[in-house]
């Protein structure tokens, strides 16, 4: 990785904790050449092709992702209902064909509150840590977390209402998520209760699916109402400590979205569909520091930007593997 890319990636790690990404101060000659060339050339055939692609938006990655998310959650449900025992437990902790798995944030909360770690919990945590370090950290959010799916549907309602000018998105300070992460960690240590687990919509929804609905779903509904009428995707963007935990785990992950500067028209459609637009800061005209840039660790690898990009400038990449293939 070039020095410029490393610098940018560190900037993106800071962005994950809530800092607004800075404009690059230095751009590589290769990237500068492309930026310059774009300014002075209009490719009419390219634009025609591009317009045509806009008319047929793809849902390839979204469909794959929804299928995976629903499959994973149904595997929990049917393991219990039909007693097939493949994935027993809930998202907070489970056994996959007998092998322990523990959600990283839940496990952390338990360790901090109880201050004692038993072997099974350690095995489960280590397994899941390795799994998501390989698969991309916040990949958990968009490919597994059930709240992410219902929040995506709520987002559609929000965007519809926003189009009708009935609601407007009210952004909130992104540093809040880091504050919540620290506050809930401290609360767990000080009170001795897993305070966050009581309000985690991920855990609540996962248990509701498997063991039946309860009153705690009201909290999930309240969050969705807030997101529909007040602030777009507020929980996932500004509050959820689980997202930050997995984001940190994914910092060095080989699975990521890669941006290619050359074909990009800088229209920003990708930023409009993105849950975490600050990771796509690099697609803004004149900001890419190299011809190819990997998105930051806060990216949930949901693929919405890949689907929406009419020029194929954004794509999934597995570091190392792509070179082998």
Partner 1 sequence: MSEKENAPAAAPAKGEVPVSRERARQGRRKVLRTILLTGGVLGAGLSGYLPLVYARTSRLRPPGALDEKDFLSSCIKCGQCVQVCPVNAIKLADLIDGFGVGVPYIDARAQACDFSCDAVQCILACPTGSLTYHKPDFLPVREGAELSQKPTLIAKMNDPEPTLNMTERMGVARLTRPESCLAMKGEGFKGQARGPDFKGTMRYIKVDRWKPIPVADHPYDLPLCDLCMRECPIAGAISLEKFTGPDGQTRARPIVHENCVGCGVCEMICPTEPASITIIPREVWKS
By CB under 8 A, name the binding residues for partner 1: 79-80, 88-95, 100, 102-103, 106-107, 110, 113-114, 116, 118, 120-121, 124, 170-173, 176, 179-180, 183-184, 187, 192-199, 203-204, 207, 210-211, 214-216, 218-219, 226, 231, 234, 238-239
Q: How far is the CB of 75 from partner 1 (least distance, A)?
A: 13
* 240/236 Cα distance (integer angstroms): 5
Closest CA to 228 of 299, 176, 152: 152
Pick 227 or 281: Cβ nearer partner 1: 227
Q: How far is the CB of 250 from partner 1 (least distance, A)?
A: 22
Pick 44 or 173: Cβ nearer partner 1: 173
DSSP 112-175: HHH----HHHHHHHHHHHHHHHHHTTTHHHHHT-HHHHHHHHHHHHHHHHHHTTS-------TH
* 24/32 Cα distance (integer angstroms): 12
Pick 11 or 197: Cβ nearer partner 1: 197
Pick 176 or 318: Cβ nearer partner 1: 176
Q: How far is the CB of 270 from partner 1 (least distance, A)?
A: 24
* 33/304 Cα distance (integer angstroms): 29
Pick 73 or 94: Cβ nearer partner 1: 94
Q: How far is the CB of 171 from partner 1 (least distance, A)?
A: 6
Strand partners, 293: 259
For residue 281, what is the DSSP state?
G
* 50/264 Cα distance (integer angstroms): 10
- Calculate the CA dihedral of residues 141, 196, 93, 18 and round it to 10 degrees: 30
Give the CA distances from residue 1 to residues 15, 98, 109, 250, in Å, rounded to whole numbers and listed in that order. 19, 40, 35, 17
Pick 232 or 301: Cβ nearer partner 1: 232
* 8 Å CB contact between 148 and 233: no
Q: How far is the CB of 253 from partner 1 (least distance, A)?
A: 25
Pick 162 or 179: Cβ nearer partner 1: 179
- Using only the alpha carbons of the chain, give its radius of gyration: 21
Q: How far is the CB of 271 from partner 1 (least distance, A)?
A: 19
Q: How far is the CB of 236 from partner 1 (least distance, A)?
A: 13
Q: How far is the CB of 167 from partner 1 (least distance, A)?
A: 14
Pick 168 or 322: Cβ nearer partner 1: 168
């Amino acid at each position: 990785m070039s020095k410029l890319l490393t610098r940018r990636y560190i900037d993106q790690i800071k962005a994950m904790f809530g800092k607004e990404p800075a404009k690059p101060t230095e751009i590589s000659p290769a990237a500068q050449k492309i930026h310059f060339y774009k300014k002075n050339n209009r490719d009419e055939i390219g634009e025609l092709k591009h317009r045509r692609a806009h008319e047929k938006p793809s849902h390839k990655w979204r469909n794959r992702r929804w299928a995976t998310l629903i499959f994973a959650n149904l595997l929990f449900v049917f393991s219990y209902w039909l007693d097939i025992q493949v994935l027993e437990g809930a998202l907070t902790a489970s056994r996959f064909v007998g092998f322990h798995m523990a959600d990283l944030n839940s496990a952390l909360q338990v360790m901090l509150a109880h201050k004692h770690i038993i072997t099974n919990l350690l095995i489960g945590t280590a397994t899941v840590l390795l799994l998501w370090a390989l698969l991309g950290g916040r990949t958990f959010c968009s490919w597994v977390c059930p709240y992410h799916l219902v929040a995506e549907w709520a987002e559609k309602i929000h965007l519809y209402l926003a189009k009708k000018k009935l609601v407007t998105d009210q952004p909130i300070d992104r540093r809040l998520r880091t504050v919540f992460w620290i506050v809930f960690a401290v609360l767990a240590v000080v009170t001795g209760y897993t305070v966050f687990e009581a309000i985690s919509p991920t855990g609540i929804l996962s248990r509701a699916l498997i063991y039946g609905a309860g009153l705690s779903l009201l909290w999930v509904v309240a969050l969705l109402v807030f997101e529909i009428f007040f602030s777009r995707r507020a929980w996932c963007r500004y509050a959820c400590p689980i997202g930050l935990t997995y984001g940190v785990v994914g910092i060095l992950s080989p699975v990521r979205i890669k941006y290619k500067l050359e074909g990009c028209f800088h229209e920003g459609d990708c930023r409009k569909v993105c849950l975490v637009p600050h990771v796509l800061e690099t697609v803004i005209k004149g900001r890419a520091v190299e011809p190819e840039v990997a998105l930051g660790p806060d990216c949930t690898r949901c693929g919405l930007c890949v689907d929406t990009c009419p020029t194929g400038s954004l794509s999934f990449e597995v570091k190392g593997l792509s070179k082998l293939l």
